[in-house]
Amino acid sequence: MSVHELLQAAFRAALEAHAPLADEVTSIFDAPPARGLRPYVLIEDALLTDWGTKDMSGREARVRVLLFETGERPDRLRRFAGEVDIAIEAMPRAIGEGWRIASAVFVRGRTLREGPGWVVASEYRVRMLREN
């Protein structure tokens, strides 16, 4: 598996394992759904850059987690965004095939009106090194 696939799977597993979020949303997707019943979570494809050292492979990733909801106000989505933060902070550091997360940090978030409801976008910076 590529580091990209490992990271995507780690994000999905962390969100699915976090009951306060997983029990409230209809689905957690790692690709845009053809149809999704709101509220749902979408983990966007990560943007990867080199973060290696002289003797270790490394990647820095930017990962956005989007939460979609209907309704007049985004209050419930904001609570869900807090649960996403908790799940990502608790994510296991070893993600497989020698790759280990050095840090996973919230970078920015935004709430937007979108179609029939709302979307909250939370972006994370994840730095990883490969242990040989």
**CATH number of the domain located at residue range(s) 3-130 in this protein:** 3.30.2000.30
Helix (H) or strand (E) holding 13: helix 3-17
Cα dihedral 41→126→13→16 (10° resolution): -40
Cα(65)–Cα(28) distance, rounded to whole angstroms? 10
Residue 9's Cβ-count burial label (10 Å; 0-12, 13-18, 19+) is middle
Cα(32)–Cα(110) distance, rounded to whole angstroms? 19
User: How does pLDDT run across 21-72, given as a tens digit for each residue?
Assistant: 999 999 999 999 998 899 999 999 999 999 999 999 999 999 999 999 998 8
Q: pTM score, two decimals?
A: 0.94
Nearest Cα to Cα of residue 24 among 11, 15, 34 = 15
Q: Of 25-29, 66-70, 89-93, 112-116, which range is least confident?
A: 112-116
Domain ranges of the chain: 3-130
Q: What is the mean pLDDT of the chain?
A: 95
The secondary structure of 31-83 as a DSSP string is: S--SS-PSSEEEEPPPEEEE---SSS-EEEEEEEEEEEEESS--HHHHHHHHH
